[in-house]
Amino acid sequence: MDRTTLEKLGPYAWRIPQTGSMRVPAVIYADEVLIDDMDTKVAEQITNVACLPGIVAAAYAMPDAHWGYGFPIGGVAAFDPDEGGVVSAGGVGFDISCGVRLLTTNLSRADIATQQEPFAHELSRTIPAGVGSRGRIELDEAEMAAMLAGGAAWAVAEGYGRNDDLERIEERGTMTGARPDLVSARALLRQRREMGTLGSGNHYLEVQSVAEIFDAEAARAFGLEVGQAVVMIHCGSRGLGHQIGTEYLREMALAAPAQGIVLPDRELACAPIDSELGQRYLGVLRAGVNCALANRQILTHLTRGVLERFFPGVRADLLYDVSHNTCKEETHVIDGRARRLFVHRKGATRSLGPDYPDLPPALTAIGQPVLIGGSMGTGSYVLVGDARSEAATLSSACHGAGRAMSRHEAARTWTGAGIQKELAARGIIVKSPSRRGIAEEAPGAYKSVERVVEVAERAGLARRVARLAPMICIKG
């Protein structure tokens, strides 16, 4: 990205001034290395977001930002319905509520190492992954409606988990306001056999160990210590979410002229929040969120079953579950006034500081866990929400390392077999139904997750708590 087109606000923040059709400025969080390496499309896309009706404060891009559909991945923007604000299917994306959850265990890295290969094999056999993967759960029409209305709470009631899991999930595991009755027959059909599956792309289940602690107090509150084994699950709403995105992007784009909306980019298709179309999309979006929460809950249950078979009496507790691709109704203070806003986070996560009302009691004093997935070979991070992020980014932070090259380019650069062999030499077992998928997700295809999280911390978006090193990766 050309720095000469930006105003430098500080060592970790850059502004695109409000010009032309922009209703607010755009702000990008990055250091000089990340901004120089950032795709120029990020600046173009975040500028277009700043042109949408009813946007407040600024359009934000996180340190891991890269080109996406409509919004850049790592884009955050809030809209005020009282000022003609919109909800954008392009600002949520196709993988509705794609997110990450982390399980802490009472096992050590050494415990996993004694059973690493057979344990990895059993996980890969139990957790369906890959394009078009199908699970053993098939829902009928009534069960599908109940799942879309209840989310993780439905899954727990069906025996997939524990009641205390719900305290550690955003929205307590159920997004209210879901409208399963408005979800299309095609979306329902695509999801009928996909519950309890990882899918493809950058989705994964990883067994990791805590390699480093940065914040001892937060680590104690989160139940993390060096050498401990943990499990990270990254997936979303699968075929249902993709179908919802496909349908509403088309409908919103066609309806925009009649709504008086001039789209700076067709991929930013949107509708006024208070319109019939906007309200309908919010209803199905929330059903998609519940689908993703239920899916991750089922995967947690399946993972616990494998853990128990290899390590009888093991404890695997849910630390937290965060969603990345969402639009949520929240209250934020803008220009000294509390306002009801609809906050889009695409490839970004909430980063709630201490004493935020939505946090479970056990986390109120310390803040929300922020889970940052890395790549198969670089590791992941646990951060904690920072009170400063409310003013900086409407309580938002990055969600991962961010791609540095396209999947096509990665597949031309590496082979899946080569990546597996390289990682195996480092003690990391990768299981996947797709060798090409492994190549596309090669560690070298991503930015430095260490630099991304360091910038997030220094910019006040979240604070580092722990670094996690991969041991087993079940890849979609």
Identify the bridge partners of residue 187 per DSSP, sorted by sequence position.
none
Q: Which two tokens stand for residue 39?
A: 């795709």
Phi and psi, residue 411, nearest 5°:
-70, -25
User: Do 270 and 252 form a contact (C-beta atoms < 8 A)?
Assistant: yes
Reported as type and span, the H/E element at residue 283 is: helix 276-310
| Residue 349 CB contacts under 8 Å (≥ 6 apart), including other chains | 99, 322, 323, 324, 370, 371, 396, 397, 398, 399
User: How many Cβ atoms sit within 10 Å of the Cβ of residue 360?
Assistant: 14
Tokens 């128990």, residue located: 308
322, two tokens: 């965060």
What is the C-alpha to C-alpha distance for residues 345 and 358, in angstroms, rounded to an integer? 17
Give the residue among 433, 441, 456, 435 at the shortest CA–CA distance from 128: 433
Residue 137 to residue 157: CA distance in whole angstroms: 15
- Residues with catalytic function: 399
Residue 454 gets which letter from DSSP? H
